[in-house]
Amino acid sequence: MALLQSYLGEYNNRNVNSPMTPSTEAYLPAYNGQLNLASAFVWSVTRIQVFMIEVIDNPSTYGVERKVESELKRLRTDIVDLSQKGSKYQSEASCPQAISRIVNPAGASKDESYLLLDTMTYEGLPYWCSFDLLGRFLSIISPAPQGATHHNFYLPLTLMYANWCRKIAPKAPWMYSCAWAGGKDKQSRFHLGASLGGYSLPKEQGGRWVSILQQARFDILRDERTDAVGLTIQSSTLRSSKRKPIPYGNCAETYPLVHLLRNRDPSEEVYGLAVMLRKLPEAAYNHPQALDTLVRPCSNCQDVIGIWGGKVENFITDDMPENSTTASSGVQSPISPCPDPRASGFALPTRIKWPSPEDDTAEPAAKRVKGPAPEISRKPSHLAKRKDKPQ
Ligand SMILES: [Zn+2]
């Protein structure tokens, strides 16, 4: 409460004569009133990890339902393992990254990717990246507080999540999304996700690694309805500023839409927002600055929202910055805002090729890899029997 007052005080001091606008609304604490989103925005990695343990050790305090207690434990282990100092992050020593992976036994062949995905399954979907795992952890603890809105909850929550991602591992994704769904007088469920990020390219066949990741993201989206309208990984018309194709599934909205929109109860409306890392406040949470991070859904997301019966207008608000379209949203290839691991004493393995900002690793435009286009299995991978390993 003190923090809330200080936030309002700070804001009002700068806007003494301004009428109250939505951006001056108070924001609500998360998880049964336990988490002040503004103060948690600046937490260190250690504090974030302590928080995860506190939630697991005191489920009733945080409003955790019994049925997700064991999943939270499993998620925490996977997140820690895939964070910068974690065992899975470091597991493949020549190419450390936030992606769960194994060395391809056939990787010596020039036609094969050096790395293969090693996925974990949560709620029937494959996960492999610490950023999306963290988004899931934060999403299943407990629902949004009563009265949660875009301004008073989901935006500060999403910015906190984005800032935490920036801390747990290098190469944080460019984009972050939160979708929420709920009926009348019900506390809304929400789901956080990030765009494809956190990976590094092995020196050999790096393009194939990108293709594997892009294909896996597309497979998360793929279902009978996307098939029925002919959505394929190549059918996206979205282009980066360098005219590279951006495939379906790349966006931060991917997991949130799959979890909340795809199989929604018809009585529920689904809303959402997306923010870009590039505009994230550096030091402390600041609501006017937070509003400036908002981005409209790109054409790919609009397609997917439409296919699954959602309303694109539920993902757009009046106070979005002008020009917050995909062209300027970070779906293109902005200059990397992430600390370069080479500049921070991070041991640079010899095998790894750190891509230049031009390669846009965190929010990649689809790279035209040499060799055949990625194959699409007849069934979405999460519906296929062997869903844990790429083809
Ligand atoms: Zn999008």
Q: Crossing angle, helix 69-81 and helix 130-140, to 10 degrees? A: 160
Alpha-helical (H) ranges within the chain are 2-14, 37-40, 45-57, 69-81, 87-90, 130-140, 155-168, 206-221, 224-228, 254-260, 287-292, 299-307
Amino acid letter, residue 383? L
User: How far is the centre of ligand 1, averaged over its atoms, from the C-alpha of 52 (Å)?
Assistant: 29
In 3D space, the residue among 42, 5, 10 whose CA is nearest the CA of residue 27 turns out to be 5
User: How far is the centre of ligand 1, averaged over its atoms, from the C-alpha of 364 (Å)?
Assistant: 12
Region of residue 239 (left: phi > 0; alpha: psi -120 to 50; beta: else): beta
Structure tokens at 390: 């790429």
Question: Does pTM top 0.85 for this prediction?
Answer: no
User: How far is the centre of ligand 1, averaged over its atoms, from the C-alpha of 283 (Å)?
Assistant: 27
83-87 average pLDDT score = 95
Model pLDDT, residue 323:
56
User: How far is the centre of ligand 1, averaged over its atoms, from the C-alpha of 253 (Å)?
Assistant: 6
Instruction: Give 271's strand partners.
Output: 180
- Look over the chain and give the mean of its residue pLDDT values, rounded to a whole number: 80
Q: Rounded to an integer, what distance in angstroms lies between the CA atom of residue 130 and that of residue 382? A: 19
Residue listed under structure tokens 């790109």: 298
Angle subtended at Cα 89 by Cα 177 and Cα 250, rounded to the nearest 5 degrees: 30
User: How far is the centre of ligand 1, averaged over its atoms, from the C-alpha of 209 (Å)?
Assistant: 21
Amino acid letter, residue 40? A
User: How far is the centre of ligand 1, averaged over its atoms, from the C-alpha of 296 (Å)?
Assistant: 8
Burial class (CB in 10 A: 0-12, 13-18, 19+), 63: middle
Is residue 368 over pLDDT 50? Answer: no
User: How far is the centre of ligand 1, averaged over its atoms, from the C-alpha of 278 (Å)?
Assistant: 16
293-306 average pLDDT score = 96
Cα atoms in the 13 Å half-sphere on the side-chain side of 203:
8
User: How far is the centre of ligand 1, averaged over its atoms, from the C-alpha of 370 (Å)?
Assistant: 26
Higher pLDDT, 148 or 384: 148
User: How far is the centre of ligand 1, averaged over its atoms, from the C-alpha of 195 (Å)?
Assistant: 9
- Say which residues have a Cβ less than 8 Å from residue 191's Cβ, sequence separation at least 6: 135, 136, 139, 178, 179, 180, 255, 256, 259, 260
Is residue 86 over pLDDT 50? Answer: yes
Strand pairing report for 115-117 and 101-103: antiparallel
Strand pairing report for 294-295 and 125-127: unpaired
Quick: pLDDT tens for 311-346: 999 999 887 876 555 433 333 232 222 222 222 222
191-214 average pLDDT score = 93
209-223 average pLDDT score = 96
Higher pLDDT, 356 or 283: 283
Quick: pLDDT tens for 92-146: 888 999 999 999 988 777 788 999 999 999 999 999 999 999 999 999 999 999 9
